[in-house]
Amino acid sequence: MGKVLIMDHPLIQHKIGYIRREETGTKDFRQTISEIAMLICYEATRDLKLDDVKIKTPICETTVKELKGKKMAVVPILRAGLGMVDGMLTLIPAAKVGHIGLYRDPETHEPVEYYCKLPQDCAEREIFVVDPMLATGGSASAAITMLKEKGCKNIHFMCIIAAPEGIERLTKDHPDIDIYVGACDEKLNDHAYIVPGLGDAGDRIFGTE
Ligand code: PRP
Ligand code: URA
């Protein structure tokens, strides 16, 4: 059974408060999304396994900790997930990056797939799927299904703001994955937008309307 971890770190909460403000412009929004992704990454990688490795310092031999051999991949859900990639790679620079393109149909709110390109050895990697928003959960659930169809087993999902409905859907569809959430909001509105949320994450990152 995977876990759902809602962040309580003051820096994360402060930065999420900043990107919620309607007056926060594209440049600051993008920069802050990246910083939040880095902070959530720090929490989401807490359980990575370590090996003891013997090394020599300039003074003597000693044993140090090193991440176990398992390689990682970051998989943003396009478009908005792209805003979290740099922050993730700041902490795990050797990770490969896959891309899954999904958009929500404006009428049905169902995800529509338009792109999928993953590292060829993704089934052997620890995967971090990133998307700032978990609203109905349809996009995240579909992306994780696509990854499982490619043989991926170790999957984590990271978002900045979630609705309770999205967390419920994702834990029901994929009970095996860990979910890391910056903040859990109140509800969805009639257009399946998160309330209070921050509006359309993709538009705010890329300056589109
Ligand atoms: C947003 C967001 C998620 C999705 C969440 O993407 O980035 O991918 O909606 O909603 P859901 O949980 O109800 O599926 P959007 O479809 O607006 O595409 P974009 O990132 O290209 O703007
Ligand atoms: N996608 C967004 O970008 N924002 C929401 O509130 C819901 C889905």
Amino acid code (one letter) for 80 = A
Strands 126-130 and 72-78: parallel
pLDDT computed for residue 68 by the predictor: 83
Mean pLDDT, residues 56-78: 94
Residue nearest atom 2 of ligand 2, based on CA coordinates:
200
- Write out the two tokens for 209: 């309307």
pLDDT computed for residue 1 by the predictor: 82
Distance in angstroms (rounded) separating the CA atoms of residues 89 and 95: 7
pLDDT computed for residue 69 by the predictor: 67
- Is residue 200 part of the annotated active site? The answer reads yes
Count of alpha carbons within 13 angstroms of residue 102, beta-carbon side: 25
Mean pLDDT, residues 27-40: 98
Distance in angstroms (rounded) separating the CA atoms of residues 148 and 154: 9
Q: 135: Cβ below 6 Å to ligand 2?
A: yes
Angle between helices 26-44 and 10-20 (to 10 degrees): 150
Distance in angstroms (rounded) separating the CA atoms of residues 60 and 76: 43
- Is residue 20 part of the annotated active site? The answer reads no
Q: Residue 159 C-alpha to ligand 1 middle, in angstroms?
A: 11
pLDDT computed for residue 138 by the predictor: 96
User: What are the residue ranges of helices labelled H in 150-196?
Assistant: 164-173
Mean pLDDT, residues 62-77: 92
Q: pLDDT by residue (tens digit) across 169-209?
A: 999 999 999 999 999 999 999 999 999 999 999 999 999 98
Distance in angstroms (rounded) separating the CA atoms of residues 67 and 184: 31
Q: 205: Cβ below 6 Å to ligand 2?
A: no
* Torsion sign over Cα 115, 119, 4, 35: negative
Q: Residue 29 C-alpha to ligand 2 middle, in angstroms?
A: 15
Q: 202: Cβ below 6 Å to ligand 1?
A: yes
- Is residue 108 part of the annotated active site? The answer reads yes
Q: Residue 3 C-alpha to ligand 1 middle, in angstroms?
A: 23
Atom in ligand 2 nearest the alpha carbon of residue 195: 6
Q: pLDDT by residue (tens digit) across 70-126?
A: 799 999 999 999 999 999 999 999 999 999 999 989 889 999 999 999 999 999 999
Distance in angstroms (rounded) separating the CA atoms of residues 29 and 178: 26
- Write out the two tokens for 18: 């900043």
Q: Residue 135 C-alpha to ligand 2 middle, in angstroms?
A: 6
Q: 134: Cβ below 6 Å to ligand 2?
A: no
pLDDT computed for residue 87 by the predictor: 98
Q: 197: Cβ below 6 Å to ligand 1?
A: no
Contact 136, 166 (CB under 8 A): yes
Is pTM, for the whole model, over 0.85? yes
Q: 193: Cβ below 6 Å to ligand 2?
A: yes
Supply the Cα-derived Rg of the chain in whole angstroms. 18
User: In this structure, which ligand is nearest to the CA of 208?
Assistant: 1
Residue 161 forms beta bridges with which residues? 133, 183
Question: For the chain, what is the mean pLDDT?
Answer: 96
